[in-house]
Amino acid sequence: MRTSSTIQTVFLTIFALLSLCATPAIAQDIDVVNDAQITALQQRVADLEQRLADLEELAMPLIKQAQDQLRRDKAKAAARARMRQDRGKYSPEVLGEVEALYQTANKDWRSPAAVAALEKLVNEYPDLNRTGCATMYLGQMTQGDERVDYLTRAMTDFADCYYGDGVNVGAYATYYLACHQWAEGSYDDAQKLIDKINTDHPDAIDHRGRALTELLSELRPETPATESEDDTGH
C-alpha cells in the first residue's frame, strides 16, 4: 500500500538523519576543536533537528490515515460477520422479505411507507441485524421521548448490529443519544454516554468513516451538538 511505503520511507530517512548525529566529527579531541568548529557543529545539529521536526510533521498525517483505514476495514469485517449469523439462522426467503422491507424504507426514509416498513421489521423480526438498523432509523426520524425510546432500544437491544459500511448500531445510537441530550442541555447524561463510547466503542465510526470519539470530542457546552450530517446508511 502506498501509504505504508511512504511512512516506511519517512522513518528510514529519520533513522539516517539520526545516524549523522554520531559522525566522527563529534568524537574529535576537545583540545583541537576551535570556536568555529563548535559553532558549525551547533548549526549542523540545529539543522538536523529542524529536518527531523519537518519529517515528523509529514509523517503524522500519513500515520493517522493508515490508522483510520485500519479502523474502517475492521468495522466492515465485523459487519460481514454479523450478517453471516443471520444467514445461518434464517432461510433465504425470510431474509429476502426483510431486505425488501428495508429497501422500501430506503427509497424515502421519512415517508409514511418507510415508517410502516421499519415498524414491521421491528415488530416481526426482532433479532435480525437489519432490524437493528431499522430501529436506529426510527430514532433518527422521530422527536422527543419517542426518539429517546428508539435510540435507547437501538443502543441496548441491538448493540451487536451493523450497517454494511461498518457502522455499529449500538455505538451510533449512543452517539445520537449523546448529541440529543447535549442539545437539550442534559450535559451530565450526555457525558455518561460519551464515556460509554470511549470505553465500549473506541473504534466506532459514522457513515463517513469518521471516528465517533473524535466527533464527540468537539462538543462544548456553549456549542450545542449537531448530529452527523450523513443520516443515511447501507
pLDDT tens profile 82-103: 999 999 999 999 999 999 998 8
* Alpha carbons within 13 A on the beta-carbon side of 171: 24
- For residue 156, pLDDT over 80 is answered with yes
232 within some domain: no
Start-to-end CA span in the chain (Å): 26
Question: Does residue 143 contact residue 189 with C-beta atoms inside 8 Å?
Answer: no
Domain span including residue 61: 2-81
Question: Does residue 83 contact residue 102 with C-beta atoms inside 8 Å?
Answer: no
Burial degree of 142 (CB within 10 A; 0-12, 13-18, 19+) = middle
225 within some domain: no
Distance of CA 10 to the CA centre of its chain: 26
- Of the pLDDT bands very low, low, confident and very high (cuts 50, 70, 90), residue 13 is low
Query: How many residues make up the chain in this entry?
Result: 234
Report how many domains make up the chain: 2
What CATH number is associated with residue 169? 1.25.40
Average confidence score pLDDT of the chain? 82
Q: Are 103 and 211 within one domain?
A: yes
Residue scoring higher pLDDT (220 or 206)? 206
Q: Are 101 and 56 within one domain?
A: no
Q: Are 55 and 159 within one domain?
A: no
What's this model's pTM, rounded to 2 decimal places?
Answer: 0.71
Q: Are 113 and 169 within one domain?
A: yes
98 within some domain: yes
99 within some domain: yes
- The pLDDT tens digits of the residues spanning 46-86 come to 878 888 787 777 778 888 888 889 999 999 999 999 999 99
Q: Are 102 and 34 within one domain?
A: no
**Of the candidates 139, 230, 137, the residue with the CA atom closest to the CA atom of residue 177:** 139
